[in-house]
Amino acid sequence: MELKRKNIPLFVLATLLFGIKTYIVYRFMFSIELENIMQEVILFINPFVSAFLVFALSVWFKKQTRQMKFLRYTALVGTLIIYANLVFYRSFTDFITLPQLFQASNAADLGSSILTLIKPFDILLFADVIFIWYLSKRRSEQEIVRYSKSGKVFALAMSFVLLAGNFFLAEMERPQLFTRAFDREYLVKNIGLFNYHIYDLATQAKAKTQRVFADGNELPEIQEYVDENMKRNEKSELFGVAKGKNVIFINAESLQSFVINNKVNGEPITPFLNRLTKDKDTFYFENFYHQTEQGKTSDSEFIVENSLYPLSRGAVFFTHGQNEFNAMPEILGKNGYYTSVLHANNKSFWNRDQMYQRLGIDHYYGEESYEVTEENSIGWGLKDKPFFEQSTKILQKLQQPFYAKLITLTNHFPFELGEEDKSIEPYNSNSSTLNNYFPTVRYMDESIEQFFNQLKKSGLYENSIIVIMGDHNGISANHNRAMSQYLGKEEITPYDQIQLQRVPLFVHIPGYGKGGVKSEVSGQIDVKPTLLNLLGIKNSDDIQFGNDLFSNNRKEFIALRDGSFISEDHMYTNNTCYDRKTGEPIAEEDNKNDSTGKEENEKEKQVCDPIREQVEKELGYSDDLIYGDLFRFLDFDKK
C-alpha cells in the first residue's frame, strides 16, 4: 500500500467519525436502557464495528475516484438512516422496520406532525458527512492510494472478526438474542442499528415465504389451543342483552386512562366521561389495555375486528391487506347488519380502502362524505365536534340495524387546538406534547357529550349501544420526565410504563340500569367476542384470542405485542416479573432474604414463566395465521 505517512486512510477516519456520531445518538438521543457495564461496552463498540465493515469495502475499488465516491455516499446514506430512525423514535420510541417503508403513502398526511419532531441542532448530525465529503474531494485530487491484495483481504477479514466478536459479546449478554425479533431495542442495543436493519430484512424475507409454503396443516394445532383457552361456548349473563340494536363504536384517538377522573390545573380533564363511569347504563373497564404496535390506530382496528394480535413489525393493514379474515363486520353482515366506518380522512391512509373490503365493511364514509373547511379543521383534519355533528346526519340515513365505527382526529399528535376551542389551560412541564394533550382531550370529551345529545335528538339513542374505546397511547415514553411530574412520581418505571398503556373502554347500553366499573384485566383482543355476545350472535367456531368481558371464566392474562403481559396478580415486562398490586419486582423482594438469588429466580420462574411461555405461543399462533394467510383454508359458512 502506497500512502503518505501523514494521512490516516480515509476509510479509517470515516469509521471513527461515523462511529462516534452513532454512539452519541445511541447514548443521548435514543432512550436505550443500560443495565450493566457489559451492555455499555457493547453499545459503544457496535457502531464502530458496523461502520468499519461498510467503509472498509472502499479498498476493493481500484480507482481512487470510486473509492472516494463510495465513502461520500455511504456516509450520507448511513446518516440518513440514522436520522430517519431518530425522527421516528421521537414519536414512537421505536425503530423503523422494513414493512413500514410500505406505509410511505401515509407520509403526505403527517404534515406538522413530522415538523415538530425535527430539531434545529439535527443539522450537526451531518457535520462528519460534510467533512468526509470535503476530504474525499481533496484527496481525490492530491494523492493516489493503492491497497495491496493482502491489505484488502486483511481489511475484509478484520471486518468479519470484529463483527463476530460483537455478536459473541451480544450472545453472552443476551442468550438467544435473535429469537426476540419483537424486541427491537434489544437488537439495536446489542448488534447496532445497521445490523438490526439487515436482520429485519432477513426476517421480512422469511415472513414473505410463509404464505407460499402454508397449506393449512398448521391450523389443527392452533384450533386446539383456541378450544382449550378461549371458552367460546360459554355464554355470559349479558348474552343477547343488546340483540338487534345498532352498534355505534367511537374509536377515541390517543385517549389514555390516566386522564379519566383526573384533573389538570385544578380542572377535571374529562367531565363527561367521568360521569359515564358512574352511569348505571354504562360498564367502564378501568384495567383495559391497548395492544397495538407499529400500526397504531390501524392495529387497534385490526385487533377489535378480528380478535387477533397485530404484527410486531409494520401494520397488518399494509402488509397483509389481501388476506382472508373472519372479521366482526363480516359476521355482523351475515346476521342482518349494515356495517360502515366514518372517518374524515382519505381512503388510502393506512390502506383502509383495500383492508375494509377484506373485513366485510359495506361502506367507508371518508373525507369526501364531509364538509371540511379551513374554519372547521385543524391538525389532521376535521375537528371532532363538526365531525360528530355531520356523522349523526349520516347515521340517520343508514339501514338499521347497523354497525358504525367513528374514528376521531383532533386528539392526535402533535395535539393542536385553536384558542377558541380550549376549555382548559395546557399543563406546565418540559414537554409541549404532554402540555397540549390535556386541552385536546377535554375537547374530545366535550365532542362526545355533544354526540350523545345529538343521538338522543335524532331518535337513534334508545335503539343503540354506544362503545367508546381509546385506540392507543398518545404520550410516548419520550415524555416520561414530564409524565412523572404530572403523576407525582420520582420516575416512570417499566411497571408504570405498562400501566400507562391502559386506555378507557365504555360500553353504554341505554335503559339497562345494571352497569358499573369493571376492574378485571382486559384488552382490545376481547372486544369482538364481547360485542358479538351482547348482540346474541353465536360465534363458537371462530379462531380468536379474546374472551367475552362479561364471562366469569376467562383466560388469566392480557398479552402485549412486545411479549409483556398483565395478569390479575402479576405483570411481566423488560425481563422482570412484578407484583401487579404493589408494582414491586418479585426478584427484588426475594433478594432481601436470599443473597444467592436462587429463591428469587425460582419464584420468578414459578409465577411468571408459565404465562410468559403461553404468551409467546399465542403471539406465535396469531402471527402464523396472518403470515400464512391461513383463514383462506377455512370456510366458516359451512360450520
**Active-site residue set:** 297
Q: Kindly state the cell numbers that stand for 45.
A: 463498540
Are 89 and 118 contacting, i.e. CB atoms less than 8 angstroms apart?
no
Q: How far apart are CA 508 and CA 465, in angstroms?
A: 6
**Nearest of 629, 281, 226 to residue 452 by alpha carbon:** 281
What value, to the nearest 5°, has the Cα angle with vertex 248 and ends 242 and 253?
135
3 state SS of 344: coil
Q: How far apart are CA 252 and CA 556, in angstroms?
A: 27
Q: How far apart are CA 547 and CA 553, in angstroms?
A: 9
Are 394 and 365 contacting, i.e. CB atoms less than 8 angstroms apart?
yes
Using only C-alpha atoms, the chain has a radius of gyration, in whole angstroms, of 27
Q: How many CB atoms neighbour CB 592 within 10 A?
A: 8
Instruction: Identify any residues that bridge with 579 across adjacent strands, giving them in sequence order.
Output: 570
Residue with C-alpha cell 338487534? Answer: 244
Instruction: Identify any residues that bridge with 156 across adjacent strands, giving them in sequence order.
Output: none
With 0-12 / 13-18 / 19 or more C-beta atoms within 10 angstroms meaning exposed / middle / buried, residue 208 is: exposed
With 0-12 / 13-18 / 19 or more C-beta atoms within 10 angstroms meaning exposed / middle / buried, residue 137 is: middle
Q: How far apart are CA 369 and CA 342, in angstroms?
A: 9
Q: Kindly state the cell numbers that stand for 293.
A: 404496535
Beta-sheet pairing, 338-342 with 363-365: parallel
